[in-house]
Amino acid sequence: MSEENPEKPVTAPMESQAQAETRIGIEDFTRVDMRVGQVLEAERVEGSRKLIRMRVDLGSEVRQVVAGIAGAYEPADLLNRKIIVVANLRPAKLMGILSDGMVLAATAGERPVLATFAEDVPNGSRLK
Domains (range + CATH), the chain:
33-114 (2.40.50.140)
| pTM attached to this predicted model | 0.81
Tens digits of pLDDT across the chain (128 residues): 545 556 766 766 666 777 777 888 888 778 899 999 999 999 999 999 999 999 999 999 999 999 999 999 999 999 999 999 999 999 999 999 999 999 999 999 989 999 999 999 999 999 98
| Helix (H) or strand (E) segment spanning residue 34 | strand 34-44
Q: Is 117 helix (H, G, I), strand (E, B) or coil?
A: coil
Give Cβ neighbours of residue 107 (< 8 Å, ≥ 6 apart).
113
